A and B are shown apart, each in its own frame.
Chain A
Amino acid sequence: MPHLEDGTLHALLDGEIPSEELPPIEAHLAACAECRARLEAERAIRGEADGLVEAIEAPAPGVARATVGARTAPAKRPRRWLREVAWAASVVLAAGLGYASRGVRPPAPASQVTARQVAARQVAAGQVAAGRDGSLPTHPDSGVTAPLAAAAEAAKQPVNASPAPANRTEVRRESRLGKEAPVRRPAEAKKALADAIDSLPRSKGGFAVPTERLTLNAAADRATVVKLRSAETPAPAAPAGQAAGGIAQLRPRRLDTTSQLHLEEIVVTGVPANAAKVSAPVVAPAAITFPDAIARLGGTIRLIEGLVPLRVEALGDRVRVIYPLAPGELVLEQWRSAAGVTWKISAPAGFPADSVERLTARVRE
Chain B
Amino acid sequence: MTGMLADLFAQYHGSLVRMLYRRTGDPDRAEDIAQEVFARAVAAPPRNPRPWLFAVALNLVREDGRKSVRQGRRLVLYRAEQAEAAAGADEELDRGERIALVRAALDMLSERDREALLLKAEGFNYDDIAATLGLARGAIGTTLCRARRRLVEAYRAGKDKQHAAS
**Which residue numbers of A lie inside 8 Å of B, CB to CB?**
5-11, 14, 16, 42, 45-46, 48-50, 52-57, 59-71, 74, 77-82, 85-86, 88, 94, 98-102, 147, 150-151, 154, 162, 164-177, 179, 201, 203, 205-212, 227-233, 259-263
The residue from B1, B75, B152 contacting A48, defined by CB atoms under 8 A apart: B152
The residue from A81, A227, A263 contacting B27, defined by CB atoms under 8 A apart: A81
Query: When the two chains form their complex, are residues B121 and A54 in contact, meaning their CB atoms are under 8 A apart?
Result: yes
Is B49 an interface residue when CB atoms closer than 8 A count as contact? no
Q: Of B2, B21, B70, B105, which is in contact with the most chain A CB atoms at under 10 Å from its CB?
A: B2
The residue from B75, B77, B103 contacting A56, defined by CB atoms under 8 A apart: B103
Query: When the two chains form their complex, are residues A71 and B70 in contact, meaning their CB atoms are under 8 A apart?
Result: yes
Residues of B within 8 A of A210 (CB): 42
Query: When the two chains form their complex, are residues A150 and B78 in contact, meaning their CB atoms are under 8 A apart?
Result: yes
Query: When the two chains form their complex, are residues B139 and A7 in contact, meaning their CB atoms are under 8 A apart?
Result: yes
The residue from A45, A56, A232 contacting B152, defined by CB atoms under 8 A apart: A45
Query: When the two chains form their complex, are residues B14 and A168 in contact, meaning their CB atoms are under 8 A apart?
Result: no
Provide the bound-state CA to CA distance between A48 and B152, in Å: 7
The residue from B15, B85, B147 contacting A49, defined by CB atoms under 8 A apart: B147
Closest 4 A/B residue pairs (Cβ): A232-B14, A259-B3, A7-B141, A7-B142
Query: When the two chains form their complex, are residues A63 and B81 in contact, meaning their CB atoms are under 8 A apart?
Result: yes
Is B5 an interface residue when CB atoms closer than 8 A count as contact? yes
Query: When the two chains form their complex, are residues A77 and B10 in contact, meaning their CB atoms are under 8 A apart?
Result: no
Residues of A within 8 A of B28 (CB): 173
Provide the bound-state CA to CA distance between A59 and B141, in Å: 30
Query: When the two chains form their complex, are residues B73 and A212 in contact, meaning their CB atoms are under 8 A apart?
Result: no
Is B58 an interface residue when CB atoms closer than 8 A count as contact? no
For the complex formed, measure the closest distance between the CB of A36 and the CB atoms of chain B, giving whole angstroms. 17
Cross-chain pair count, CB within 8 angstroms: 252
Given A16-B140, A48-B152, A99-B39, A175-B32 contact (CB < 8 Å): yes
Given A100-B39, A164-B81, A53-B145 contact (CB < 8 Å): no
Interface residues on B, range: 35 or more
For the complex formed, measure the closest distance between the CB of A212 and the CB atoms of chain B, giving whole angstroms. 7
User: Do most interface residues of chain B lie in helix, strand or loop, or is the interface mixed?
Assistant: helix
B95: nearest residue on chain A (CB-CB)?
A: A60
Query: When the two chains form their complex, are residues B141 and A260 in contact, meaning their CB atoms are under 8 A apart?
Result: no
Residues of A within 8 A of B52 (CB): none
Residues of A within 8 A of B121 (CB): 50, 53-54
Residues of A within 8 A of B12 (CB): 230
Residues of A within 8 A of B147 (CB): 49
Is B125 an interface residue when CB atoms closer than 8 A count as contact? yes
Is B84 an interface residue when CB atoms closer than 8 A count as contact? yes
**Which residue numbers of B lie inside 8 Å of A, CB to CB?**
1-3, 5-7, 9-15, 17-18, 21-22, 25-28, 31-32, 35-36, 38-40, 42-43, 69-82, 84-85, 88, 92-93, 95-96, 98-100, 102-103, 105-106, 117-118, 120-121, 125-126, 138-149, 151-152, 155
Residues of B within 8 A of A150 (CB): 78
Provide the bound-state CA to CA distance between A59 and B97, in Å: 10
Query: When the two chains form their complex, are residues B2 and A46 in contact, meaning their CB atoms are under 8 A apart?
Result: no
Write 17 A-B pairs (CB below 8 A) sorted by A numbering.
Answer: A7-B139, A10-B142, A11-B141, A14-B120, A45-B148, A49-B149, A67-B75, A71-B73, A85-B79, A164-B78, A170-B79, A208-B5, A208-B42, A211-B35, A211-B42, A230-B13, A263-B9
Residues of A within 8 A of B72 (CB): 176-177, 179
Provide the bound-state CA to CA distance between A64 and B76, in Å: 10
Query: When the two chains form their complex, are residues A61 and B144 in contact, meaning their CB atoms are under 8 A apart?
Result: no
Residues of A within 8 A of B38 (CB): 211
The residue from A71, A170, A232 contacting B69, defined by CB atoms under 8 A apart: A71
The residue from A54, A164, A211 contacting B39, defined by CB atoms under 8 A apart: A211
Residues of B within 8 A of A81 (CB): 21, 27
